[in-house]
A and B are shown apart, each in its own frame.
Chain A
Amino acid sequence: ETGVTQSPTHLIKTRGQQVTLRCSSQSGHNTVSWYQQALGQGPQFIFQYYREEENGRGNFPPRFSGLQFPNYSSELNVNALELDDSALYLCASSLGAGGTDTQYFGPGTRLTVL
């Protein structure tokens, strides 16, 4: 059974650019959640996708957007990058979108904005 995978592992961008991060969910999981983890902080919830629909959003501006595909893989897009967007971006998949559904995390994408 393949776990959650993310690509790329590292990325360097400059301020104002746009970036797309990708996540493949664990087999059988229909829900993907995205988190931002700044250095020395706990992960912060960005949004969740359940069966291709957004199913909850954290306190992030609209320039953070996402997609979920029919195979339940997902993308996180960030427009107009700012220096504060530098962080580890974590994707997690789960069997469902409820509070009791355990989220399994990928290794993350380290984004550096210069």
Chain B
Amino acid sequence: AQSVTQLDSQVPVFEEAPVELRCNYSSSVSVYLFWYVQYPNQGLQLLLKYLSGSTLVESINGFEAEFNKSQTSFHLRKPSVHISDTAEYFCAVSDRDQGGKLIFGQGTELSVKP
């Protein structure tokens, strides 16, 4: 069965520093990958997604993630974080066989300090 591992449960970082949130998934023939962000007491918002094509995908607020098939990873990066990026980040995967079922990781709490 498909599974997702987010390697860090908490990532503290100072404002304007770079950050990487790590995500690995179990191998499958055809996977689709997503990063969602959850602010306190809110639902999930889509940050970015990989469906096919270019392995590097970007969000409108400066995040990017790279699909690495050989390492079964989809790490999220941002070169310079802001206080407002403080939130919980979830990596999720679906695949061709599971249809619309999203499998989520446990989440990474990003805490940006001034």
Contacts and interface: CB of A to CB of B under 8 A. Distances in A.
Interface residues of A, number: 31
B32 interface: yes
B99 A45 contact: no
Interface of A is mostly: loop
Interface string A33-45: 1010000111111
B107 A41 contact: yes
A31 interface: yes
A105 B106 CA distance: 17
A42 B96 contact: no
Contacts of A107: 42-43
Interface string B44-71: 1110010100000000000000000000
A103 B100 contact: yes
Given A41-B107, A42-B104, A43-B90, A102 B46 contact: yes
B94 interface: yes
Contacts, number: 75
B90 A42 contact: yes
Contacts of B87: none
Contacts of B44: 43, 90, 92, 105
A98 B104 contact: no
How large, as a class, is the contact surface on chain B?
Answer: 20 to 34
A99 interface: yes
Interface string B78-105: 0000000000001010111011111111
A55 B99 contact: yes
B18 to A, nearest CB: 24
A94 B90 CA distance: 18
6 contacts: A42-B92, A43-B44, A48-B99, A55-B99, A99-B94, A99-B96
